[in-house]
Structures are given as C-alpha cells and as structure tokens.
Amino acid sequence: MHKLLLLGDEAIAQGAIDAGISGVYAYPGTPSTEITEYIQASKEATERKIRSSWSANEKTAMESAIGMSYAGKKSLVCMKHVGLNVAADAFVNSGITGANGGLVILSADDPSMHSSQNEQDSRFYGKFTMIPTLEPSTQQEAYDMTRYAFDISEKFETPILIRVTTRLAHSRAGVQRVEMKEQNELHLPSDLKQFILLPAIARKRYDLLLSKQSLFENDAAESGFNVLKKGKDNSLGIIACGIGYNYLTENHPIDTIPYSVLKIGQYPVPRKLMNELYETCDEILVLEEGYPILEELLRGMLNKGKPIHGRLDGTIPMAGELNPKKVALALKLDFEDGHETPDIVKGRPPKLCDGCSHTDTFTALNEVVKLYGPGRVFSDIGCYTLSALAPLESINSCVDMGASITMAIGAADAGMFPAIAAIGDSTFTHSGMTGLLDAVNTKSPITVIINDNATTGMTGGQDSSALGKVEDICRGVGVEEDHIRVIKPLHRFHDENMKVLQEELEYRGVSVVIARRECIQTLGRRMKIKAQLKRESESAN
C-alpha cells in the first residue's frame, strides 16, 4: 500500500478504521474534530457500517462507547481536552468497569490555547483513571498507536487513553497503512456483573485494576514506544515525551546526540527505564508538551535528588506549548533568531463573519441592555463568544459549555434583574438543557437567548443535535408557551426584535428567545452543493 498524506487526526481515524472499530462517538472540539469527520467521509467506514454521527456531548459519547464495548465491539471516543471534563464521570468509572470490546478514548489537548479556555493536560486523567495512556510523536505513530491501543484494550480488558496535542493533530505527513482487521461479533462480557458498579462489585473491580498496574508498566517497557538510547556524554540525560521528542531531534539528530535519551510514548512510564537513565546521568532534562507531570514525579516534593530541569525550574516556561527554540535554549544551544517583527504588523483578531446572524442578535440585545445597565449578559462557548470583542462587546462571561444559563440563575438568585443568558443551539443541547430545567424548577427570573443557527459553527459547521427541536425541548422542560419567542435576527427586523427582547427581559420568570437564522457559512456550502447537483443533472439530461 502506498503512503497516505494524513493529518495526525486523520491518521488516528484511519488507524481506528483499520483496527476494526464498529463505532466512533464524539462531540466536536478543536483540535479533535477531524478524526470523526474523516470517518464520516470515509468510503471504507461507510461500507463497513461504522456508526459515526455526532453525540450530544462528550459524556453521552463516552457512555455510548462503553455500551458498545460492553456488547463486545470496538469503539473509539473523541473529544478535545476540556471535553474530557464533561465525560470525566463516565471516563474515570470506565477504568473500574474495564472493557469487553476494545475501548479507546482520544483526547486532543491544546497547549498555548489556540482555540480553548485552558491548556489542561489529559495525561493527568490517564494517571487518575489508572489506565494505559499513549502519546504519539508522529502521524505514523498516531496510526500505529491507535491500532495498538485496541489490541491492549482487549488484552488487558481495560479502556486506553490516547493523548495528542494541536501540532500533531493538525499537521500532515506520510502514513503507511497495514492490513485492516475485522470488526468483532456481538459478544457479552464473560461476567455479566462486570459493569454494575455497586460498592461490593466496584471494590473487586478496583482491586483488579490495581493488580493490572504492573502489567501496564511492563507493557510500556516492551511495546517499543518507550525507548532508551544511551549516549557517550553522561553530563545530561533527556526525557522526551510525545512531540517533545521531535523538537529535541530537530536540534540534535538522534544519531549524533551525545546524551542519553529516553523517548516516551506510553504511560505508566516503566521505572526500569527511568532508573537506568537516572543512574547513569548527572542531570536530567524533561521535555513534556503540557504540564510537568513526569518532571514533578521525578523531582518529588523535596527535590533532593539530582538536578532535574524542565518547566518547574524555569528552564522551559511553565505556560505554552514547546517549540524548537524553547528546546534549543533548554539544551543551551546557540540559536540564531530571525528578523524582529516590525511594529507595523497589527493584530487581526478573529471575528464574526460578515452577515452572521449573531451580529444582528447582539446589536439588538446591546440596545436593550443599555436600558438596564451593563454587566448582565452571561454567555457561552461558540461563534457568538466573539461578540465579546469590539465593536459589539456584548457579553460578560464564557466559562464552560452550558454555564450561561446556570450563571444567570446564580446571578438572579443574588438579586440581579434582568439576568440574561446567551447560548448557541449546539451548546444548548450539549449542556444547557439541564440548566434550563433548574431555572424552571426555581422560577428563576432569567431570559435565555438561544442563538439557533442550525449548526455547530465554531468548530466548522457540524450537525447540531438541537436541529428542529429547540422549542419542543423548552416546552418539555416546562418553559411557559407564552414565553418561548422566536425572532429572526436580520437588520430589517431590528426594532421588532428589540421589542421582543425587552418584553421577555421584563418577565419575572423563565423566558426563552430563540434567535433563528442559519449560519451563512453552512448556508453557502449548502447552496454550492445544490448548484453543483443542478449542473450535474442538467448536463446529464
């Protein structure tokens, strides 16, 4: 087979298809989205009937995948790093249930926060859950490790975490495929009580998980993903995790590097290899893309052993992703800078597309809010978060998905009136609905604006679980019919829209204003496809 030119994300997707998955479960989130999109677009995946439609959120995705694993088939779950917080309850408990069919969780971290609220390191979750964690450094490894993850998931009957970061997820390189494996047949776990985490069973399962730790560590020593290469110069030993290894070898090709190098791609890290490096070198440098996890373990709380360099002693800055320059400086290599960036270069912050419905919604809202004073719009995560920037400057919060409605409840409880929540349609079904139920149950005097653009805009226009269901959900949750209003955010309806908004802000109960107009990006794409189909059918006639 010839090499494919794949993004790291796509290599994971192809690896999972070739490992014989029967389903991928995911909620979009940069930089993980392309994995599921690749499977959705893959002809092979369609032929093999691999299920791949989007889940409502990461928790539902994770649980569905556990269900597929219970039923004996292989499943992949994908999310961005903060998605793992949402899925955490299911994820951490899956360590206790263990797996039947191969169960692999992919979490894509975003150090430097290219498009995220934080730079949390998913390897912590792997350690916390006590399951093996894989961290590829190249696109080829991303492919190979995904296949391997399914192998060891079934061998050890445990879920496996794969952690990637933005630079690998969104970088392309050649990938060599190997043969495709068959999907599993439906088969139940040998112990039908395995997944019942009642305390009596959970204690046994936990003991079992604890007893597997040494197996996980042995596997990490033998899989070939952790390799110690001895050097001649013992003044320094280097531990390079994930793509930290690439930046190391960019500066020092591995064949000529004088120091010992321990390349890490699988956790828990084998103590045997760690010890070998530690004992033979005077000082240690740890290169980790993300938090200083190994570094901290190695130096311990009192740091009384050999000098350990990395993020904790300032050799590498604590915040932000690694790059070749940071690693060169950590290695004390000469580094020739480029030109200085001239002052004439101005920032070009992202903004709402011309003609975006959110602009019209927030323009109307801004005017109404003026009547009550600033500081009362709790928002959420999506394209509409860009209304925080000039010229709109409409919103006062964006914390995590769904937090708009619940923060408005808290502020209203504290006496704020009116308190306003602004949330997108996809975010609403992700985790806004339950907050709305809270509001209804306590008759909280808040107004929820649901920006329904019929898509998940921020991440590139994936199907929204809310499509065609927003009013029904609000009704079902108990919002009064009279206070579920729909407006069309267009400049020409500006006055009408303001009036509706003001009426609902005045209402001292839960009100919902649905601002509905399709995202112009997805609309444009739809029109293009339609025109293309029309042209094709005309030329066929």
Ligand X SMILES: Cc1ncc(C[n+]2csc(CCOP(=O)(O)OP(=O)(O)O)c2C)c(N)n1
Q: Which residues are at the interface with ligand X (CB under 6 A)?
A: 27-29, 58, 80, 82-83, 86, 381-384, 401, 424-427, 451, 453, 455-459, 464, 519
Residue 28 binds which entry of another protein, ligand SF4, ligand X, none, CB below 5-8 Å type-dependent: ligand X
Name residue, tokens 């929820």: 448
Q: Which of 47, 179, 279, 340 binds another protein (CB under 8 A)?
A: 340
Under 8 Å CB-to-CB from 365, ≥6 apart: which residues?
A: 377, 394, 420, 422, 449, 501
Q: Write down the least CB distance from residue 490 to ligand SF4, Å.
A: 13
User: CB under 5 to 8 A by kind: which of another protein, ligand SF4, ligand X, none does 34 bind?
Assistant: another protein
Q: Is 242 left (phi over 0), alpha (psi -120 to 50) or beta?
A: left
Count of residues in contact with another protein, rule CB under 8 A: 49
Q: Which does 520 bind (CB under 5 to 8 A by kind): ligand X, ligand SF4, another protein, none?
A: ligand SF4
Question: How far is 277 from 271, CA to CA, in rounded Å?
Answer: 10
Tokens of 36: 């599921």
User: Please, is 324 exposed, middle or buried when counting C-beta atoms within 10 Å of its C-beta (0-12, 13-18, 19+)?
Assistant: middle
Q: How far is the CB of 424 from ligand X (least distance, A)?
A: 2
Among 199, 314, 338, 468, binds another protein (CB under 8 A): 338
Cα separation, 66 vs 479, whole angstroms: 34
The DSSP secondary-structure symbol of 429 reads: I
Strands 103-109 and 236-241: unpaired
- List helix spans (H) across 301-382: 324-330, 357-370
DSSP per-residue letters across 98-163: --SS-EEEEEEE-TT-SSSS----THHHHHHHT--EE--SSHHHHHHHHHHHHHHHHHHTS-EEEE
Least distance from C-beta 401 to ligand X, angstroms?
A: 5
Give least dist CB 221 to another protein, A. 25
- Span near another protein by CB under 8 A; candidates 250-258, 278-286, 359-367, 484-492: 250-258
Task: Report the residue from 180, 202, 324, 518 that binds another protein according to the rule CB under 8 A.
Answer: 324
DSSP 464-531: PTTTTTHHHHHHHHT--GGGEEEE---GGGHHHHHHHHHHHHH-SS-EEEEEE---HHHHHHHHHHHH
Partner whose binding site includes residue 348, from ligand SF4, ligand X, another protein, none (CB under 5 to 8 Å by kind): another protein
103 versus 262: smaller Cβ distance to another protein: 262
Q: State the binding partner of 249 from ligand SF4, another protein, ligand X, none, CB within 5 to 8 A by kind.
A: another protein
Which residues partner with 456 through β-bridges?
A: 462
Q: 410 vs 524, which CB is nearer to another protein?
A: 524
324 binds, among ligand SF4, another protein, ligand X, none (CB under 5 to 8 A by kind): another protein
Does position 49 interact with another protein (CB under 8 A)? The reply is no
Residues that bind ligand SF4 (CB under 6 A): 352-353, 356, 358, 383, 453, 457, 519-521
Residues in the chain, total:
541
Residue 341 interacting with another protein (CB under 8 A): yes
* Residue 150: closest CA among 68, 263, 43: 68
Q: Which CB atom, from 43 or from 339, has the smaller least distance to another protein? A: 339
The binder of 121, among another protein, ligand X, ligand SF4, none, by C-beta within 5 to 8 A per type, is none
Handedness of CA 112, 115, 117, 120 (dihedral sign): negative
Residues in touch with another protein (CB under 8 A): 5, 7, 30-31, 33-34, 114-115, 167-168, 170-174, 243, 246-247, 249-251, 253, 323-325, 328, 335-342, 344-353, 383, 386, 458-460
